[in-house]
């Protein structure tokens, strides 16, 4: 992939804030936490959706009701996993 100044300028305009971590290992560890947290929450929703289905409940309706709480973090059933976590862990371990 070649450097494209025009595309870089366009992409830079989309970024509203950048956090500069203490060092690269801190940044990589932060990515690991974020990816694992997202995967765990989606996996939990997958399991809850199965339970809700067996109970005759509509998962979307349950999530809509739960979303009325101010501090509820909404996750929906979906795909879990991918290449990020193994790659992120390598970055922290090196």
Q: For residue 82, is it left (φ>0), alpha (ψ between -120 and 50) or beta?
A: left
Q: Tens digits of per-residue pLDDT, 52-79? A: 999 999 999 999 999 999 999 999 998 8
Q: What's the confidence (pLDDT) of residue 94?
A: 54
Under 8 Å between Cβ of 63 and 74? yes
pLDDT at residue 93 greater than cutoff 80: no
Other C-beta atoms lying within 10 Å of the C-beta of residue 42: 16
- Distance in angstroms (rounded) separating the CA atoms of residues 42 and 49: 10
Q: Which two tokens stand for residue 66?
A: 């739960």
Q: State the catalytic residues.
A: 84
Does the reported pTM lie above 0.85? no
- Distance in angstroms (rounded) separating the CA atoms of residues 7 and 9: 5
Percent of the chain with pLDDT over 90: 46
Q: What's the confidence (pLDDT) of residue 68?
A: 97
pLDDT at residue 80 greater than cutoff 70: yes
């Amino acid at each position: 992939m070649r450097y494209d100044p025009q595309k870089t300028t366009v992409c830079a305009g989309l970024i509203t804030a950048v956090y500069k971590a203490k060092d690269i290992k801190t940044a990589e560890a932060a990515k690991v936490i974020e990816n694992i947290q997202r995967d765990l929450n989606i996996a939990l929703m997958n399991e809850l959706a199965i339970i809700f289905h067996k109970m005759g409940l509509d998962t979307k309706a349950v999530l809509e009701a739960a979303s009325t709480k101010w501090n509820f973090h909404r996750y929906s059933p979906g795909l879990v996993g991918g290449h990020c976590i193994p790659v992120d862990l390598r970055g922290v371990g090196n």
